[in-house]
Amino acid sequence: MARLFDPTPEHAALRDMVRRFADEQVRPQAAAHDRAERFNLDLFRQLGDLGLLGVTVAERFGGAELDAVAACIVHEELSAADPGFALAYLAHAILFANNLDKNGDDAQRARILPLACEGKLVGGMAMSEPDAGTDVLGMSTTARREGDEYVLDGAKMWITNGAISDGEVGDVFLVYARMAGAARNELSMFIVEKGMPGFGLGQKIHDKLGMRASPTAELVFDGCRVPEANRVGSEGSAALHMMRNLELERLTLGAMSLGIARRSIEVMNAYARDRKSFGQSLNHFGQVQRHLAESYAEYMAGRSYVYATASEIDIDVPGHRLDSDGVKLYCSTMAKNVADRAIQVLGGYGYVGEYEVERLWRDAKLLEIGGGTLEAHQKNMTRDLSRLDKLR
């Protein structure tokens, strides 16, 4: 079984390194940054020192050039310590760096990716809008050509890493927009950088249910002028870029769910073993045994699905949507349910922050919404299944 989760010695070494970093550096700061709704930028930059900020980026542009299994390992281990911090990592490493590495030209990648891989730039991806979430192709942000520049107008909402502090916008974003007269499925993508005229922070989103250590913001484009050299790919070609990158995003969000579930089981198991009631440890009672056993079985089922899918994905090629949606559909709800059971086993202690599981439960809920809602995955998967007569 270990070979599925760590198929090579290199994968096993990566997991050991990230788990050690997560236990020693990430977990101790998680509760405080959740309470403060603050992004730990210094800790984030340490991931650059470890070579993780460009986990799938080509080595010649400063990355580690690892595969989908490695990306899942990093996300699982970071999420077991602090899902909010892991989400900020995902937005940078997958939604921004991987996306630019796979779709940008050499000049764009050489200028930006080494800085992103070092942590000198914090990146994100701007797709959702105030009135366009699941219906992403219904976005209204526009781009028009003026000489050797593009002018962007519109707003993007729920952007992870959109604000690295209350008043400071993130450094660089891949922004999707539609050219005037373009068809619904013809989107264009642009590199938008802090300081460009007409680009600014609309608002930093506060008072979220969970993922509070991950900064979320609204970005505003008011006549934002972007050089032609910052267009990624040809005009109207970005929908394919987006869909290919979303497959890896959903897989790594599934891996984040594994981290939440695993930590919840660890806390629940230790408490049930050590806490006594009516003269016996809690794990002697059938109700608690059910919570523990079902949680472990569901976690292992999800873990097997995530890593089996990751082992088959070529991150340079699209076409994995059925299972990338499937792992997120299953694992996101599984993680929420496992965290919920952990709260139930801990009783009143589970309802307060000291024992972690209330934060894990709050964080888990976002994974049923962000990166594609459960309903969107159900629709996508049903559409893909309708094309199949037999399953593999």
Residue with tokens 């964080």: 363
Q: Whole-angstrom Cα distance, residue 299 to residue 19?
A: 18
DSSP element (H, E) containing 353: none
Strands 163-165 and 168-169: antiparallel
Task: Write out the H or E segment, with its range, that includes residue 219.
Answer: strand 216-227
Q: CA torsion angle for 185, 177, 104, 372 (degrees, to 10)?
A: -70
Question: Chain-centre distance of CA 380, in angstroms?
Answer: 19
**Residue 178 forms beta bridges with which residues?**
142
First to last CA, the chain: 21
Token readout for 310 is 């990751």
Helix (H) / strand (E) containing 136: none
Helical (H) or strand (E) element with 189: strand 188-193
Q: Looking at residue 129, what DSSP letter applies?
A: B
Amino acid letter at 18? V
77, 129, 247, 249: the catalytic one is 249
CA quadruple 112, 118, 120, 122: dihedral positive or negative? positive
Query: In angstroms, rounded to a whole number, what is the distance separating the alpha carbons of residues 222 and 199?
Result: 6
235 vs 187: CA distance, rounded Å? 7
249 is catalytic: yes
What is the Cα–Cα distance from 161 to 139, expressed in whole angstroms?
20
SS3 (DSSP) at 293: helix
Residues with active-site annotation: 249
